[in-house]
Amino acid sequence: MTLRNTFLAILCCCLFSSLMAQDDNGSYKFIAVKAMTGGHLYSGQSLTEEVSWGYGAFDIRFAWQPSKENDWTRDTGYAAYGIGFYNAFVGDPQIFGDPTALYGFANFYLSKPWRRNVLELSPALGLTYHLKPYDPQTNPTNDAIGSRMAVYFNVHFGGAYKFTRELDLTYGIDFTHYSNGRTWQPNYGLNLFGLNAGIRYNWNGYQRQVDNDFYTTNVVSARFNRPERPKTGKFDFKNSVDFYGAAGVVQNEGDVGTNVRYGTLSFVVDYRRYFNRMSGLTLGLDYFYDASLGAEKDAEGNLIGYDTYMIAAHAGYDFMFWRFNIRVQMGAYLTDDRGKGTTFFRPAIQYQVTKRFFAQVGLKTKNGFAADWVEFGVGFKPFKW
């Protein structure tokens, strides 16, 4: 699919949803366009010169602004949510390709609703494609990306200034990450950090039902006037013990260009303390199994002979909204780290399927923020009090 066709498909979806989604309180939506620029946080070895010029990107987002009171609006302060399209120039296209992403996002409002300048936090998760991966003959210097597609992650923090009745001027900082989680090698990943600025247009689809005349003065509000955020409610319980198991696949650097993969397993027990419906802290123990460690070789091709398991402990913070839970954990190994460094991080997103069972996707790192593997798992809460 070409860039133009991708953009047109998104636009058609947005227009269709705009026509269909209405309620008695209004049909509030916005479309936002922004430009992004900054530098690379590069951890590889062979692309230092190629990433020294930074990056530029274009981003367009379509969002639904809820206005009815429900679990989502109570827990998130009427956060907007939607879909987005992203395209970037990160360096020589013959090396990096044409990074393009489709993603979902949520937009959390951090300021009082009556302020003209509103601070916002917006995480996004999706899929990056049109990447040009490492190839020993045609693209040997690309140690950042080993696959044509990768996970897209972005977090934006900034503000929106109400410029007119419908128009906002937006600005902020953002961090963007592409990675395949060591499913293909090489995989140092691309990490982009910079500034952004743009415009956002707000409208109310309910206007067509009230008065659709082009010259009418009988207009409805283009924006939803958010109520003050209610005090965050408390759970029926303050503590839980969670059990979680996950699996993944990885590739070693020596297996680049082949279909050789190794399995990974993660088993976790967590104690979680809930402060309210949106915040909590965790402490836990981890058991990691990485079959690729048994196949690690030195520079001369000899097996190093690492054991394939590790035991670790971690602590983390959970940000919860609706049925979702954004998790950030930092851990340290209690056994030998098997060459992975003393600490690891686990950013993850969890979805609460029922009151006791959940699904989770996360990224375990090594040597700080380098990807080690992607975890796909399920868990349950047998104990709550």
**Residue 255 main-chain phi, psi, to 5 deg:** -105, 15
Which tokens belong to 345? 């991080």
Which tokens belong to 19? 């026509």
Taking the mean position of all CA atoms in its chain, how far away is CA 102?
Answer: 11
Confidence band, pLDDT 50/70/90 cuts, at residue 20: very low
* pLDDT for 304: 67
Taking the mean position of all CA atoms in its chain, how far away is CA 169?
Answer: 24
What's the rounded mean pLDDT across residues 80-89?
96
Cβ partners under 8 Å of residue 137, min gap 6: none
Confidence band, pLDDT 50/70/90 cuts, at residue 22: very low
The single residue listed with the structure tokens 């597609």 is 149
Query: Does residue 372 contact residue 340 with C-beta atoms inside 8 Å?
Result: yes
Query: With 90 as the cut, is the pLDDT of residue 276 above it?
Result: no
Query: With 90 as the cut, is the pLDDT of residue 132 above it?
Result: yes
Nearest to 375, CA basis, from 241, 250, 190, 291 = 250
Query: With 80 as the cut, is the pLDDT of residue 270 above it?
Result: yes
Alpha-carbon span 323 to 357, nearest angstrom:
11
Query: With 80 as the cut, is the pLDDT of residue 198 above it?
Result: yes
Q: Buried (b) or exposed (e) across 10-33, using 16+ Cβ within 10 A?
A: beeebeebbeeeeeeebbbbbbbe
Helix (H) or strand (E) holding 375: strand 370-384
How confident is the model over 211-226, as pLDDT tens digits? Answer: 888 888 888 999 999 9
Reported residue count of the chain is: 385
Task: Identify the weakest region by mean pLDDT among 127-131, 192-196, 223-227.
Answer: 223-227
> How many Cα atoms sit within 13 Å of 167 on the Cβ side?
6
pLDDT greater at residue 189 or residue 318:
318
Alpha-carbon span 37 to 35, nearest angstrom:
7
Alpha-carbon span 241 to 229, nearest angstrom:
30
Confidence band, pLDDT 50/70/90 cuts, at residue 257: confident
| pTM (predicted TM-score) | 0.82
* pLDDT for 64: 96
Question: How confident is the prediction for the chain on average, in pLDDT?
Answer: 88
What percent of the chain stands above pLDDT 70? 89
* pLDDT for 136: 86
Question: What structural domains and CATH numbers belong to the chain?
Answer: 3-210 (2.40.160.20), 239-384 (2.40.160)
Alpha-carbon span 217 to 240, nearest angstrom:
56
Helix (H) or strand (E) holding 72: helix 71-76
* pLDDT for 15: 44
Confidence band, pLDDT 50/70/90 cuts, at residue 105: very high
What's the rounded mean pLDDT across residues 266-277?
93
Opening angle at CA 319, ends 314 and 323, nearest 5: 115
* pLDDT for 235: 66
Helices (H), 189-244: 207-210
Distances, alpha carbon 222 to alpha carbons 109, 165, 203, in Å:
17, 7, 4
What's the rounded mean pLDDT across residues 271-279?
89
How confident is the model over 305-357, as pLDDT tens digits? Answer: 678 999 999 999 999 888 899 999 999 999 999 889 999 999 999 999 999 99
What's the rounded mean pLDDT across residues 193-197?
97
* pLDDT for 256: 79
The amino acid at 74: R
| Alpha-carbon torsion, ordered 32, 34, 40, 44, to 10 deg | 40
